[in-house]
Amino acid sequence: MEDYSKYLITDKATIREALVALNALSHDVLVLFVMNECGQMVGTLTDGDIRRFLISKGDLNDVVELAMTKQFHYVVVGGESLKLIKDYKNKNITLIPYLDSENRILRVINLKKKRSLLPIDAVLMAGGKGERLRPLTERIPKPLLQVGNKAIIDYNIDRLISYGIENISVTVNYLKEQIEEHFLIPRDGVQVRCIREPQFLGTIGSIKFVDSFYNDVVLVMNSDLFTNIDYEDFYLHFKEHNADMSVAAIPYSVSIPYGIFELDGRNIYGVREKPTYNYYANAGIYLIKRELLDRIPNDTFYNATDFMETLIRGRMKVVRFPITGYWIDIGKHEDYKKAQDFVKHL
């Protein structure tokens, strides 16, 4: 987690000390969060506040609480924090304190660096052999193949972190030591945990070996995807529809180059000339209520589609979330080349 102490100042500090602190932020967001003696946030201070204070005959040796702004933007634990963050982004407010119920700062969200602060855990499935990409995957696990200047899996990890997700696990099997070594060093303050899968357990079975979750919603995804899905919209859609499971879906069209008969038995009652059929395909990214993971059997080969069908049979609410950006499933050589070509334009 990023150190935010550089943004803090006490309400009894002098205006001169505040100017020194603001000057140290010259290449950052120029705002200080003012704390009282109990460690509670009581205001904000900018160079503009100080300028107006001095013009009104304030003094450099006066205390900060005389110049600070007492009305400020913030988010609190729970509630509508995500919607507030989205609103602040739209208003170009970039530095947001995240407070507990007693107005103590838990962290500071820099919206120049973070897109959101999602209360979810993430599990990436990275145990497959990548057989369709051989010989590339004979000595390198598919998630570590390079797209542009970094590994496939790193695009996904970095994007999850950019949405404020800090509890990230990767389940590994084939050439697992390479992936474990890859994540030895924390990324942006987040330690990615590698969980060994003792045998190949499908596209969701290995999640049973993740021994701890910290949030009520878990994101599960394939590690070899190349996508710019908006995880904030995905999560808000999940909550809005009170879903038990949400499945990211990619639009898929099939065009038939012929006239297609509409039939009733052997009788033709119409012709559709060169029709196009539109579908939604499974994108391999899921949001799931944590308590439902208990329905996944232990030590059993089990796919996410099996889990989906189990929930549907149990009359649970499974919804679709359309991906509006790009999405490539790097499963074959032509997909890998497509991703290589695509990343050049990002």
Domains along the chain with CATH numbers? 5-110 (3.10.580.10), 120-343 (3.90.550.10)
pLDDT at 1: 55
Q: What is the pLDDT, as a whole number, of residue 156?
A: 95
Give me the pLDDT at residue 79, please: 59
Q: How confident is the model at residue 195 (pLDDT cuts 50, 70, 90)?
A: very high
Average pLDDT over residues 191-217: 92
Greater pLDDT, 25 or 242: 242
* Average pLDDT score over residue span 91-109: 87
277's torsion region: left (phi>0), alpha (psi -120 to 50) or beta? Answer: beta
The mean-pLDDT minimum among 88-97, 180-189, 218-227 falls in 88-97
Calculate the average pLDDT of the chain: 90
Rg (CA), the chain: 25
Phi, psi of 166 (to 5 degrees): -115, -15
What is the pLDDT averaged over residues 234-262? 92
Cα distance between residue 81 and residue 74, in whole Å:
9
Containing H/E element for 109?
strand 105-110
| C-alpha closest to that of 244 among 296, 314, 196, 292 | 292
pLDDT band at 232 (very low <50, low <70, confident <90, very high): very high
In the predicted structure, residue 234 carries a pLDDT above the cut 90: yes
For the entire predicted model, the pTM comes to 0.83
Give yes or no for residue 27 having a pLDDT over 80: no
